[in-house]
């Protein structure tokens, strides 16, 4: 099985799907001649031509809207945002058009499109470029929301998202683009709504997604040295959410820590916590813990940014609280 970077896995997924279906096209800022702002579309212009790999002006409201219209008439657009921070410029097209047209047309129209690009904080991007918007999109019926953590998941989930009949919000962590991992060749799909156990354990469940999965796995290694066994559950798809996988894990370990990059207030981690307490209340031996960014805009200064974002020490401390070791 070949090893690919996260960006190469995404490229492979898009390229394979565009070979399979001539109705699929890629559109966004710098996706063509510049090979993608993060080089995810490297080589695709040369392979598929300017009619299927389309460079756009800096106008998210325009090209996302074009994607919605193209999907309504039978095309399958992949719309790349240079960053999900810029999705706010197209919020009406995503929340009020893409998400609602199927219902408002009585099922006569569908919007089979993928909107994808990097989200969350990286290193010193500043407050306006470090937002985590997954809760906003999960709060919108009609959208599906995917946040992969590994190259293999990126490929399998993106191929499924492209084939889906509904609009899919596909959020990639910028810091994962260079991460390497084994990725199956060819026809490899992961169903939307199916999570994954990234590490089996018995003492505490950590639920994490996107690049927080790596943080959870690092914390699990630290805790293993102290004889504490951690199970790491990666939902992969936030909407629809694989509730049952999380519940099964919590019923086994009797403890739950949720790790997210987003700030705590009104966040998706709060939704997971609600569902776990509703279905697993009698199984819990300790209150659910949540590790999140501090409830402030992400600073530019590297020393302050590191204080605000989640880290291994905070995850370890949260797990120990569920075990009454702190």
Q: Which amino acids are annotated catalytic?
A: 60, 129
Q: Name residue, tokens 């060819």.
A: 186
> What CA–CA distance (Å, rounded) separates 218 from 1?
25
Residues in the chain, overall count: 326
Query: Is 254:213 a contact under the CB 8 Å cutoff?
Result: no
Q: Give the CA angle between residues 4, 7, 8 to the nearest 5°.
A: 40
Using only C-alpha atoms, the chain has a radius of gyration, in whole angstroms, of 20
Task: Look at the alpha carbons of 168, 169, 174, 180 in this order and tell me if their dihedral is positive or negative.
Answer: negative
* Sequence-ordered list of residues with C-beta below 8 angstroms from that of 14, at least 6 positions apart, any chain: 24, 26, 41, 44, 78, 158, 162
Q: What is the CB neighbour count within 10 angstroms for residue 20?
A: 13
Query: Is 146:157 a contact under the CB 8 Å cutoff?
Result: yes
| Listed residue (121, 168, 178) closest to 146, CA to CA | 168
3-state SS assignment for residue 212: helix
> What CA–CA distance (Å, rounded) separates 56 from 90?
14
> What CA–CA distance (Å, rounded) separates 96 from 218?
40
């Amino acid at each position: 099985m070949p090893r690919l970077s996260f960006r190469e896995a995404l490229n492979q997924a898009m390229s394979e799907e565009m070979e399979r279906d001539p109705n699929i096209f890629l559109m966004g800022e710098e996706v063509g001649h510049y090979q993608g702002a993060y080089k995810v579309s490297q080589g695709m212009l040369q392979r598929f031509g300017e009619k299927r790999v389309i460079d756009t002006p800096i106008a998210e409201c325009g090209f996302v809207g074009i994607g919605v219209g193209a999907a309504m008439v039978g095309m399958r657009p992949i719309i790349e945002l240079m960053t999900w921070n810029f999705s706010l410029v197209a919020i009406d097209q995503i929340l009020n058009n893409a998400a609602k047209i199927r219902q408002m047309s009585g099922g006569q129209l569908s919007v089979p499109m993928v909107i994808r690009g990097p989200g969350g904080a990286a290193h010193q991007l500043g407050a306006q470029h470090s937002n985590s918007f997954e809760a906003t999109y999960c709060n919108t019926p009609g959208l599906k929301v995917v946040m992969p953590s590994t190259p293999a998941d990126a490929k399998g989930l993106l191929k499924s998202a492209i084939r889906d009949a509904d609009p899919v919000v596909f959020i990639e962590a910028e810091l994962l683009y260079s991460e390497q991992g084994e990725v199956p060749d060819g026809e490899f799909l992961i169903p939307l709504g199916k999570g994954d156990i990234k590490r089996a354990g018995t003492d505490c469940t950590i639920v994490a997604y996107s690049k927080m999965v790596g943080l959870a796995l690092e914390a699990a290694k630290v805790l293993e040295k102290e004889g504490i066994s951690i199970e790491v559950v990666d939902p992969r798809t936030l909407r629809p959410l694989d509730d049952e996988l999380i519940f099964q894990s919590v019923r086994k370990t009797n403890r739950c820590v949720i790790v997210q990059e987003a700030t705590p207030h009104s966040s998706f981690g709060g939704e997971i916590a609600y569902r776990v307490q509703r279905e697993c209340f009698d199984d819990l031996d300790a209150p659910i813990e949540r590790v999140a960014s501090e409830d402030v805009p992400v600073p530019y200064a590297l020393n302050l940014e590191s204080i605000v974002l989640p880290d291994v020490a905070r995850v370890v401390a949260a797990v120990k609280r569920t075990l009454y070791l702190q």
